[in-house]
Amino acid sequence: MNFKKYTIFLVFLFSLLIRTIYLGKVPVGVTNDEANVAYDTFLLTQTGKDQWGKSWPFEFKGFGDYRLPVYQYLLYPLVKFLGIDAWVIRLPIAIFSSLTIILLYYFVLLLFKDYKHKHKLALISALVLTINPWHFGMSRWIMESNLALFFSLLAVFLFLRKQKYDWLLSTIFFVLAIYTYYGARFFLPLLFFYLMATKKWSKKELINYIGVIIILCLPLLINNFLGGGFSRIRQVNLTHDLGLVGQVERYREACLHFDLFKIGPNYRVLIQYVCMGFFNKPVFWLRQFVLNYLNHFSFAFLFFEKLEQGWQFLPPHSFFYFFNIPFLIMGLFSIFSKYRKQAWLLIIWLLVSPLADSITGQGHYARSLTMLIPIVIFTAFGYLNTFGYLKHLKLKKIILGTSLVFAGFFVLMFFIKYFTVLPFSQSKYSHYEYKPLFSYLKQIEDDYEQIYISRKVRDTKQYIFYLYYNKIPAKEFFKLHMIREDGTDGWVKVGRLGKYWFLDDVNQVKKYPPQSLLVVAPEEYDQGGDLQRIYYIDGEEAFRIFKTNDLFY
């Protein structure tokens, strides 16, 4: 193994170490999506069926959000032999995230194969991605976008490499990414249209390439129309933003009723057309989409610390270190001045990355994750060129040493915050409270007829935590008395699992039966006489548990 391969191998080991250490403990608890993925896979290993009784599903209905299948089938052998502990279900993401760093190294080598410092650029790119807060945080919990990022980068890498069977392998990984994460369905086709337009194709090559893509995507297309493939898009897109719809109605009403210029009733029809022309849903949706899209490129989104973000994957911190800003700008100008072809590929990559996310909001940490790759490469190019301009060796050493100490301080501070501040301050967002709750209820459930849990304050699909933490086996799960109902936009609510009832609020039951338990958030029912209290790590109260005999009406 030569020195260059030895170095990148050490980078891989380091990235894997920091992405797997305390993997089951930080983030604390598991999210409802993690519990859902884990339990569905747990059932698969026992019966080949998911929680809906569907055998080897093409998509997992879950809470009604229809999760794509690749991650769960990838997780299958681990769950089969190791169970559904938090570190087990997160391990594939941690591994593939580390492999993405190695893949980025070779992608940069290929993309800048004519650059004399390509090995340095590739190594710096890998190091920047290794310690990047956004990528690091996303690599330690279940989020399919990270797996899709690996498949996407590998598909582009193979497309550009152009060896004998690379076109076929590229197509396979292209389709795998689309089967892994919904956002890839917007990002990858647009990027590949650009790549295909830059390549000279023979008629046979083009037919083979497009034919394989159509054949491999055919089950996806059929599922979109016959299954629940469009459900997730309907649940999160702008057209279902009730706040935006309400804003349109308020604006139009104000426009119709406020006759500032006193033009009289003869012109009311004209006013109506003007108001309807400016204040309507398509105009507002388009306006919001553009604002959402532009927000992804703002310094506030990328470099400013989000103090009250309420996320489970990062402590209060920015996606990128603020000291990267000048190097990112320098990298953009440097690449365009020297390597315009490569620069345009990275710019197109960057521009199409936020499109899917812009349909849903102003910036989601998962749906816009593909932005990482071009930004990291631009930043690495900026680092290399900035210090390359320094000709005086002694001055270069002084500035480089000072810069490394400065940057190292803030990088170290991030990692300390991640392993200390994140568990303490963000435990409510990673739903730590359900582990002690269901551990306590498990000890005493045989003494009570019914157990009622209110979801009014914390609607987190609580039933899945009962199944996950108690590891309810398949033969017992399918015998449980279950009440399910479809809510708005396809979301599913579980009202009952055996003796456990999950309520919209405490008033849903008019008179609780004796010898039962009621679990509520303190904000909903704060009377004294509770049997037990459940706390977050920071000491904030999460739940109070009452005997129904002791309730005050």
Does the pLDDT value for residue 241 go beyond 70? no
As separate numbers, helices (DSSP H) first and strands (DSSP E) second, the chain gives 23, 7
Give me the mean pLDDT over the 224-238 stretch.
57
Q: Cβ contacts of residue 160 below 8 Å, gap of 6+?
A: 110, 111, 195
Q: Which two tokens stand for residue 399?
A: 């500035």
Mean pLDDT computed over 220-241? 61
Which one-letter amino acid corresponds to residue 259?
D
Sheet arrangement for strand 541-547:
482-486, 492-497, 500-503, 451-454, 517-520, 541-547, 532-535
Q: Say if residue 392's pLDDT is above 80.
A: no
Q: What is the pTM of this model?
A: 0.92
- Answer yes or no: is pLDDT of 310 > 90: no
Mean per-residue pLDDT, 415-429:
92
Within 202-280, residue ranges assigned H as helices are 203-226, 231-236, 242-257, 268-278
Whole-number percent of the chain with pLDDT over 70: 91
Residue 455 has pLDDT above 80, yes or no: yes
What confidence score (pLDDT) does residue 284 get? 80
Per-residue pLDDT, 50: 95
Predicted confidence (pLDDT) at residue 271 exceeds the cutoff of 80: no
Helix 462-470 to helix 434-444 angle (10° resolution) is 70
Q: What is the 3-state secondary structure (H, E, C) of 145-213?
A: HHHHHHHHHHHHHHHHHCCCCHHHHHHHHHHHHHCCCCCHHHHHHHHHHHHHHCCCCCHHHHHHHHHHH
Summarize pLDDT for 79-94 with one digit per residue, the tens: 999 999 999 999 999 9
Angle among Cα 362, 368, 373 to the nearest 5 degrees reads: 140
Q: For residue 512, what is the DSSP state?
A: P
pLDDT at 222 over 80: no
The reported pLDDT for the residue numbered 201 is: 79
User: Where does the pLDDT of residue 389 fall: very low under 50, low under 70, confident under 90, or very high at 90 and above?
Assistant: low
3-state secondary structure 344-413: HHHHHHHHHCCHHHHCCCCCCCCCCHHHHHHHHHHHHHHHHHHHHCCCCHHHHHHHHHHHHHHHHHHHHH
Mean pLDDT of 341-346: 94
Residue 552: pLDDT over 70: no
What is the residue extent of each domain of the chain? Answer: 3-18+29-233+296-305+316-389, 237-295, 434-550
Q: Are 527 and 552 in contact (CB under 8 A)?
A: yes
Report the pLDDT averaged over residues 116-142: 95
Alpha-carbon 345 to chain mean position: 24
Using CA atoms, how far residue 307 sits from 63, 96, 314, 542, in Å, is: 30, 29, 11, 22
pLDDT score at 151 = 97
Q: What percent of the chain has pLDDT over 90?
A: 58
Least confident of 32-36, 239-243, 314-318, 520-524: 239-243
pLDDT of residue 322: 93
Pairing of strands 517-520, 451-454: parallel
The yes-or-no verdict on residue 38 having pLDDT over 70 is yes
Taking CA atoms, 219 is separated from 62, 225, 229, 499, in Å, by 20, 10, 11, 39
Q: What is the mean pLDDT of residues 60-77?
A: 92
Residue whose entry in the numeric block shows the structure tokens 């917007």? 186
Identify the band that residue 235 occupies on the pLDDT scale cut at 50, 70 and 90.
Answer: low
Q: Looking at residue 224, what is its pLDDT?
A: 64
User: Which string of b and e fits 494-533 if b means at least 16 CB within 10 Å?
Assistant: bebbbbbbbbeebeebeebeeebbbbbbbebbeeeebeee
Q: Are 36 and 62 spatial neighbours (Cβ–Cβ below 8 Å)?
A: yes
Q: Is the pLDDT of residue 232 over 60?
A: no
461: number of Cβ within 10 Å? 21
pLDDT in tens, 94-112: 999 999 999 999 999 999 9
Phi and psi based region of residue 490 (left: phi greater than 0; alpha: psi -120 to 50; beta: remaining): left
Q: Given this model, what pLDDT does residue 482 score?
A: 92
The rounded mean pLDDT for the chain is 88
User: ω into residue 265 within 30 of 0, thus cis?
Assistant: no
Name the residue with higher pLDDT: 22 or 220: 22
pLDDT of residue 360 exceeding 60: yes
Confidence at 237, pLDDT banded by 50, 70, 90: low
What is the arithmetic mean of pLDDT over 19-39?
95
| pLDDT score at 541 | 94
The predicted structure's pLDDT at residue 398: 81
Rounded Cα distance, 87 and 75, in Å: 12
d(CA 243, CA 251): 12
Q: Please state, in angstroms and rounded to a whole number, the distance separating the CA atoms of residues 4 and 10.
A: 10
pLDDT, position 225? 61
Residue 247 pLDDT > 90: no
pLDDT greater at residue 356 or residue 35: 35
Q: What is the structure's pLDDT at 258?
A: 63
pLDDT interval class at 230 (50, 70, 90): low
Tell whether the model's pLDDT for residue 213 goes beyond 90.
no
In this prediction, residue 57 carries a pLDDT of: 92
